[in-house]
Amino acid sequence: MSISVVLKTFDKFNLLLDNYNRGGNDVINDNIREFREKLGLSQRELGRRINKTGQLISLIEQGKNNPSMDTLNKIAIALGVTLNDLIKDSSVINLNTADEDTKDTYLTFLA
């Protein structure tokens, strides 16, 4: 295992940790907006599909409201994505596609 793999893994983990410590939902908020816009849905329509208001969706996307896991799950279903897709941070290592050294380092670091 190379030092560059260790540093790369550590840097990506720190990005995730920093985001969490700042309030943590920037990734979720951005992902909800991105998936909603890809489908051409308004905030009002997404809210209607989950029996909430468009205003709530707006607040969530702005980071002014922290949705419950139940609401996040309903949003994911309405957007046709998984809950994992909503919380996925592109700056975090994808363990499905990472090479073995990166996976081992990352999982060891998290343990």
Average pLDDT over residues 37-49: 97
* Reduced DSSP (H G I as helix, E B as strand, rest coil) percent helix, strand, coil of the chain, to 5: 70, 0, 30
Q: 80's torsion region: left (phi>0), alpha (psi -120 to 50) or beta?
A: left
Q: What is the widest separation between alpha-carbon atoms in the chain?
A: 50
pLDDT at 45: 98
Q: How many CB atoms lie under 10 A from the CB of residue 4?
A: 9
pLDDT at 63: 86
Residue appearing with tokens 């840097």: 11
Which pLDDT tens digit goes with each residue over 3-34? 665 556 556 555 555 554 445 567 889 899 99
pLDDT at 21: 44
Report the chain's mean pLDDT, rounded to a whole number.
78
Indicate yes or no: pTM above 0.75: no
